Amino acid sequence: KAGVTQTPRYLIKTRGQQVTLSCSPISGHRSVSWYQQTPGQGLQFLFEYFSETQRNKGNFPGRFSGRQFSNSRSEMNVSTLELGDSALYLCASSQGTGGTEAFFGQGTRLTVV
């Protein structure tokens, strides 16, 4: 079974631009969650999608948004990029019910210059 796939692996963007990251979950998994990882703040929850609906949202500004498609693939978008948005963005997929293992992708390394 293929694992969680994130594209692209690396991105360099300029302040003010916007970016879209993609996550393909494990086949059969209906839930995708997104996390921002930085050295100072660790892993911070961004949002969670289940069956195309946002089920939960973390404490991030409205510049961060996401969506999930009918095939469970998910995208997240960051508009008006700031230097502080530089981070590793990880997505995790799971079957969708609480208390089940979340499998992480390898992440997208975003650098904002």
**Which residues of the chain form contacts with another protein (CB under 8 A)?**
31, 33, 35, 41-45, 47-48, 50, 55-56, 58-59, 90, 92, 94, 96-107
- Residue among 31 and 85 whose Cβ is closer to another protein: 31
| Minimum CB distance to another protein, residue 48 (Å) | 4
| Minimum CB distance to another protein, residue 14 (Å) | 26
Between strands 87-94 and 108-112, the pairing is: antiparallel
- Residue among 57 and 63 whose Cβ is closer to another protein: 57
Tokens of 5: 């796939």
| Minimum CB distance to another protein, residue 61 (Å) | 16
CA distance 7 to 55: 23
Give which of 28, 24, 13 is closest to 104, Cα–Cα: 24
Residue with tokens 């300029």: 14
